[in-house]
Amino acid sequence: MNKFNAAVMSVVVVAMLGMSLPVHAGIVGTEQMVTEQTRTVALDKINGVLASDAVAAQLEAWDVPAAVVAERVAALSDQELQELAGSIETDPAGGVLAVIGVVFVVLVILELVGVTNIFNRT
């Protein structure tokens, strides 16, 4: 997704968040029940549609074959889609085979001298 599309999407999402439409809520699903959030269920349902569009657009922009984008987005839950819509560009994408070359040497040195574990949280 280019910067412009991302900006437009952000504006739309923010605008929708500010709106409060009377939507029939009825049964509260388990996903909403177990998700720690203060937003109302009705708003989540509206945002869900936008979120899946935003995630689909981003996957296509990253060369995921168009034929599989729809089924991949459909496999994500509402909550996952909303989180992804907000952070997909910076979310970790695990993939490397190995760290190579200069980067590797630098990392080994840093790890040996403890820089990469400087706060000793582990």
Partner 1 sequence: MFIRATISCLLVLAMAGCAAGPEHLVLRAAGEPVELVDVPFFAQDEFQCGPAALATVLVHEGIEVTPQALKPQIYIPGRRGSLQAELLAATRRHGRVPYILPASLAPMLEEVRAGRPVLLLQNLGLERWPVWHYAVLVGFDPERDRFMLRSGTTQRLQTRAPAYLARWDRAGRWSMVVVSPSDPPVSADVLGWLRAVAPFESTGNLDVAAEGYEAAVRRWPDEAIAWTALGNVRYLQQDLHAAEESYTRALSISDSLWTARNNLVNTLVDRGCVGLADPWIRSAGEPPPEFATTWQQTLTDVAAAEELSCDRSESQQEQDQRLTASDEFPSQPVPQ
Using rule CB under 8 A, residue 33 touches partner 1: yes
Sequence-separated (6 or more) residues with CB below 8 Å from residue 71: none
Q: From the list 41, 50, 101, 102, which residue makes contact with partner 1 (rule: CB under 8 A)?
A: 41
Minimum distance from residue 118 beta carbon to partner 1 (Å): 7
Using rule CB under 8 A, residue 34 touches partner 1: yes
Q: Report which DSSP code applies to 115.
A: G
By CB under 8 A, the residues from 69 to 98 that bind partner 1 are 72, 74-80, 83-84, 88, 91-98
Residue at 38: amino acid letter: T
- C-alpha angle 15/16/21, rounded to 5°? 130
Assess contact for 47 and 78: CB atoms under 8 A: no
Using rule CB under 8 A, residue 115 touches partner 1: yes
User: How far is Cα 69 from Cα 73, in angstroms, rounded to an integer?
Assistant: 6
In this complex, which beta carbon is closest to partner 1, that of residue 10 or of residue 116? Answer: 116
Q: From the list 2, 18, 19, 26, which residue makes contact with partner 1 (rule: CB under 8 A)?
A: 26
Assess contact for 23 and 42: CB atoms under 8 A: yes
Q: What residue ranges bind partner 1 (CB under 8 A)?
A: 22, 24-35, 37-42, 59, 61-65, 68, 72, 74-80, 83-84, 88, 91-99, 103, 107, 110-118, 120-122
